[in-house]
Chains A and B, each alone.
Chain A
Amino acid sequence: MRYIFKKELQSFFFSPLIYVLSAIFLFIFAQTFINVITTTDSSINEFTYAYHILYQNMFYFIFLIPALTMKTFAEERRGGTEVLLLSSPISLFSVVVGKFLAVAVAFLFMTALSLIFPVIIASNGVIVWSGLICGYIGFIAWGLCLIAVGMLMSSFTENQVIAVVLGEACMLGLYLVDVFKENALISNITPLYNLLNAISAQERFFNFALGWFSLSDLVFYITFMCAALGFTIISIDQRRRCRG
């Protein structure tokens, strides 16, 4: 696992992709930051960083995360290196987890860059620490879940473009769950509403955003992530069986 992790990490940080993505990420972040500041009611001068800014930026995961995960398995298959990994004495589990950890580090690198905004706030005002810390925990947890989903999509295909499109579609679907479940048609059908509620993820972020550390929601995110990684392992293993 260590060697897979190291190799993947090198391929991230020795290529321009991660820096370009970070720049885009920070640019979007700065946009929302400025928007929120300029539209805040000047009489109270108060806004919640996590609630207003992090939540908005979570939407852009739909575009950023597939770009990070597209390569993970699609490229191995196209380049014929999948054979190397799967005929070496390492388990599929450690391949998947090693790659996941590497993407996670790349994502945390991007997230860490965004800490400049709380620093700006601190230099001009007061930070509510509970909101900031819990907000970031929720932000990162959801990011990791989507990374696992993106990797699952990458394991379905050997074409990176298809991996991106599938990833975006899937993440958009997850985002829209929150919107759909509130519409009158669905919320009237209780079982459907309950189902959608169970998989709706972003609403859980609000608890974190308000500065509450919610263990049950964190467990939800972790379960979600493990399930997606588990499906990735199954997907690769099954493909070997029926490759033709």
Chain B
Amino acid sequence: MIEIKNLTKIYGDIIAVDDLSFTVNDNEVLGFLGPNGAGKSTTMNIITGYLPATSGDVLVDGIDISKNPMEVRRKIGYLPEQPPVYMDMRVREYLDFCAGIKGIPAKDIKKSVEKAMSLLKITDVQKRLIKNLSKGYRQRVGFAQAILADPKVLILDEPTVGLDPNQTLEVRNVIRSLKKDRTIIFSSHILQEVSAVCERVVIIDKGKIKAIDTPWNLAHNMDKHCVYSLKIEGDKEKAYDLLKGVNGVRQVYNVTELDARTNQFKIDVSDERVRKSVLKKLLESEFELVEFSEEKTSLEDVFVSLTGKKK
């Protein structure tokens, strides 16, 4: 379990992290979400003991990082944003070195290095120089380093940045396979990723917490209105007036011409029952309804509304 209490970090006159408090439960995957420069990396650097905090406490399994840093570091595996690899070393050599400095007993090094390599599927490249590997492979080598000592807590700073879609999926699967008996904090600014992997999400902006909840709750506790998207064949102006005339439709917007006869509309309605009357009205009219769909409130909308960032 990780407890973060009133954590603050100040660089000169910049407040990078401002009185942050939250708890990560055992065996939980916590998503750490925020725009660039929100203080995600700084917070992670503090939890891993790389940077000291200006004030506040970080407790990992009840041990205070500022009082007993070595004990805490032993429990944590960390993958920073830039994988901490030595370009002039070979993969195997590098992992052996990491195992050594992580205090793995000499007789177990071979076993744990091989286990980490097979989990990240880098056994094939073990004899290659890291500088000759692609970005995706370097990321995986960095990831292997983080899980070498079989830590209880894994901290991953944007582990899928710069990977191709297949590699991203693979890394997500690795995270899923690791989460059985581990606490994972995982930062990202890709929202689908967070909702796909995490059980809870912390959204931070400018060093402050904006929300902590499950991805589902976050998306559903938003403003209760619904948005539907319709594709209608027929005269644009008339269709617009028809939609506008339905009781309960608050707004018709985003009208786009798809081709000479078909237009796309978005309607903002007060509640779900309005859907029925819209459909009824359309079916009774001369218009042909090509498509009708509900626009889901995504985590993205939550994010944008909380952090006030326009896409």
Residue of A81, A90, A241, A244 near B86 (CB, 8 A) is A81
Selected from B51, B70, B145, the residue in CB contact (under 8 A) with A91 is B70
Among A79, A84, A85, A86, contact of B87 (Cβ-Cβ < 8 Å): A79
A88 near B11 with CB under 8 A, answer no
User: Do A80 and B84 have beta carbons less than 8 Å apart?
Assistant: yes
Given the complex, which residues of B lie within 8 Å of A86, measured CB to CB? 49-50
Interface centre among B12, B50, B80, B89 (most CB of A within 10 A): B50
Is A87 touching B49 in the complex (CB atoms < 8 A)?
yes
Which chain A residues numbered 79 to 111 have a C-beta less than 8 Å away from chain B? 79-91
> Contacts A4-B101, A7-B97, A81-B86: A243 and B51 contacting too (C-beta < 8 A)?
yes
With A and B bound together, what is the CA distance between A81 and B101 in angstroms? Answer: 13
Determine whether A11 belongs to the interface, using a CB cutoff of 8 Å to chain B. yes
CB-defined contacts of A240 to chain B, threshold 8 Å = 50-52
Q: With the chains together, A81 CA to B76 CA distance in Å?
A: 16
Centre residue among A10, A14, A15, A87 by max chain B CB count within 10 A: A87
B51 cross-chain contacts in A, Cβ below 8 A: 240-241, 243
B234 beta carbon closer than 8 Å to chain A: no
Closest residue to B142 on the A side, CB-wise? A84
Residue B105 CB within 8 A of the other chain: no
Q: Is A27 in the interface zone, CB < 8 Å from B?
A: no
CB-CB under 8 A from B101, the residues of chain A are 3-4, 84-85, 88-90
A225 CA to B8 CA in the complex, in Å? 37
Instruction: Tell which of B74, B86, B87, B88 touches A89, judged by Cβ atoms closer than 8 Å.
Output: B74
Taking CB as reference atom, which chain B residue is nearest A11?
A: B88
Whether the pair B103, A89 counts as a contact (CB closer than 8 A) is yes
Query: Does B102 reach chain A (CB closer than 8 Å)?
Result: yes
- Residues A80 and B83 in contact, CB atoms below 8 Å apart: yes
Chain B residues with CB under 8 Å of A15's CB are: 88
- Residue on B nearest A75 in the bound complex, by CB: B86
Q: How far is the CA of A88 from the CA of B76 in the complex (A)?
A: 9
State whether the Cβ of B85 lies closer than 8 Å to any Cβ in chain A: yes
The chain A residue with its CB closest to the CB of B109 is A3
For chain B, the bracket of interface size reads 20 to 34
Report if B229 contacts A (CB, 8 A). no
- Looking at A79, A82, A88, A244, the one whose CB has the most chain B CB atoms below 10 A away is A88
A88 to B80, CA, bound (A): 13
Give B96's nearest chain A residue, CB to CB. Answer: A3
Give the complex CA separation of A81 and B88 in angstroms: 12
CA distance A84 to B102 in the complex (A): 10
Chain B residues lying within 8 Å of A83, measured Cβ to Cβ, are: 45, 48, 50, 78, 80, 84
A243 to B48: give the CA distance in the assembly, Å. Answer: 16
In whole Å, how far is A49's beta carbon from the nearest beta carbon of chain B? 38
Instruction: Select A88's contact among B73, B87, B88, beta carbons within 8 Å.
Output: B73
Could you say which residues of chain A place their CB within 8 Å of the CB of B11?
A: 242-244
Contacts A89-B73, A242-B12 given; indicate if A80 touches B86 (C-beta within 8 A).
Answer: no
Q: A116-158 toward B: CB 8 Å interface, digit per residue (1/0)?
A: 0000000000000000000000000000000000000000000
CB of A153 to closest CB in B, whole Å:
21
Within 8 A of A (CB), among B94-146: 97-98, 100-103, 145
In the bound complex, residues from chain B placing their C-beta under 8 Å from that of A80 are 80, 82-84
CA distance in complex: A89, B70 (Å)? 5
Indicate with 1 or 0, residue by residue over B1-24, a CB within 8 angstroms of chain A CB atoms.
000000000011010100000000
A129 to B70, CA, bound (A): 49
Which B residues lie at the A interface, using CB under 8 A? 11-12, 14, 16, 45, 48-52, 70-71, 73-74, 76, 78, 80, 82-89, 93, 97-98, 100-103, 145
Provide a sorted-by-A list of 25 A–B residue pairs whose CB atoms are within 8 angstroms.
A3-B97, A6-B97, A7-B89, A7-B97, A10-B93, A11-B86, A11-B88, A11-B89, A79-B84, A79-B85, A81-B86, A83-B45, A83-B50, A84-B101, A84-B145, A87-B73, A89-B102, A90-B101, A90-B103, A91-B70, A240-B51, A241-B52, A242-B11, A242-B12, A243-B51
Residues of A within 8 A of B (CB): 2-4, 6-7, 10-11, 14-15, 79-91, 240-244
Closest 9 CB pairs of A and B: A3-B100, A244-B11, A84-B84, A80-B82, A87-B48, A89-B73, A81-B84, A89-B74, A87-B50
List 12 other contacts, CB 8 Å, given A85-B101, A86-B49. Answer: A79-B84, A80-B84, A83-B45, A84-B98, A86-B50, A87-B49, A88-B102, A89-B101, A89-B103, A91-B70, A243-B11, A244-B14
